[in-house]
Amino acid sequence: MKKKVILAGGTGFIGKYLADKFNQLGYEVTVIARTSPHITWDNHAKIVEALEDSELLINLAGKSVNCRYHEKNKEEILKSRTETTHILGEAILACKNPPSLWINSSTATIYRHAEDRPMTEASGEIGTGFSVDVAKQWEAAFFSFDLPHTRQVSLRLAIVLGENGGVIEPYKNLVRFGLGGVQGSGNQRFSWIHVEDVYQIILFLKEREDLSGVFNCSSPHPVTNREFMQHFRSVMNRSFGLPSPKWMLEMGAIMIGTETELVLKSRWVIPERLEREGYQFRFAHIDKTLQDIVK
């Protein structure tokens, strides 16, 4: 029998990357998603069948936060995370031989706006507001399950950078059209992680059966927005980029249907637990990361 990995919410940029990587390792990859041909969220029996005898469940499900935060979107953002997590927990409880590891995504946005010091798993201060409430309820849903045969890990993901998705294309367009200067004050911290490190961290946690709980999933070297844009311009051979003050970002966000929090919140997050346990980052610095992705 082939080894099995289940990717819940696996149709996005991170999910496709992980599916390709696990296929290369010889795994049978099954995706749970909102629409066929994948197993759909309302098919409890099929989800249980897929999880039975699997090695690993990775849950990435959740509506994109790249939208306006009106009531309908806010409800969908929350429900798409908490309800899918509950569905998976109930399915694991129904298994005779459940997966030995369940990795659930969370978000580094759970921490407060931080320009004064970095946030670690042990000393990080939980923030306030809608995005933080979503993160707290998401993690609460995940850890509400008592699963004696399934180890649980919550990954507080920073902004994931990769070639075929995430934030890279919008930033490339800004730099290409001469708008790649600082955004807002430029002092806000930009915590990030290369999608390859997300994959390698999952493999690392799969092997380390002694580890569970919450992990910050971010590079050990976050940068300021000013530094990030400077490196981006450098890798695209652009010497100059117009800055975008806060009022301009507010107008632009309304026009393209998003929120300025995605750019202006200072996420200063350090992967203290991963580093202490011996994980070695493939992409620790932003210059090497952008060269790999953009070139």
In the structure, what pLDDT confidence band is assigned to residue 262 with cuts at 50, 70 and 90? confident
What pLDDT, on the 0 to 100 scale, is given for residue 87? 98
Q: Could you tell me which residues come within 8 angstroms of residue 57 by beta carbon, excluding any fewer than 6 positions away?
A: 5, 6, 8, 51, 88, 92, 99, 101, 102, 103, 150
What pLDDT, on the 0 to 100 scale, is given for residue 164? 79
Asked if 158 and 193 count as a contact pair (C-beta separation under 8 A), the reply is yes
Q: Which of 168, 164, 154, 141 is nearest to 202 (CA)?
A: 154
For 76-96, write each residue's pLDDT tens digit.
999 999 999 999 999 999 999
**% pLDDT > 90, the chain:** 84
For 6-54, write each residue's pLDDT tens digit.
999 999 999 999 999 999 999 999 999 999 999 999 999 999 999 999 9
Q: Which of 161, 136, 182 is nearest to 291 (CA)?
A: 161
Given a cut of 90, whether residue 256 has pLDDT beyond it is no
DSSP E strand stretches across the chain: 4-8, 28-33, 39-40, 56-59, 101-107, 151-157, 159-162, 165-166, 189-190, 192-194, 213-217, 223-224
Q: Report, as an integer, the average pLDDT of 180-191.
A: 95
- Higher pLDDT pick, 55 / 1: 55
Measure the CA–CA gap between 262 and 249, rounded to whole angstroms: 11
**Based on the number of CB atoms within 10 Å of its own CB, is 134 exposed (0-12), middle (13-18) or buried (19 or more)?**
buried
Asked if 109 and 267 count as a contact pair (C-beta separation under 8 A), the reply is yes
**% pLDDT > 70, the chain:** 100
Given a cut of 90, whether residue 118 has pLDDT beyond it is yes
For 165-183, write each residue's pLDDT tens digit.
778 888 888 898 898 999 9
- Higher pLDDT pick, 159 / 257: 159
CA 185 to chain centre: 25
Q: Answer whether 0.85 is exceeded by the pTM.
A: yes
Given a cut of 80, whether residue 196 has pLDDT beyond it is yes
For the chain, give the mean pLDDT: 95
Assign residue 166 a region: left if phi > 0, alpha if psi is -120 to 50, beta otherwise? left
Query: 4-226+254-294: what fold?
Result: Rossmann fold (3.40.50)
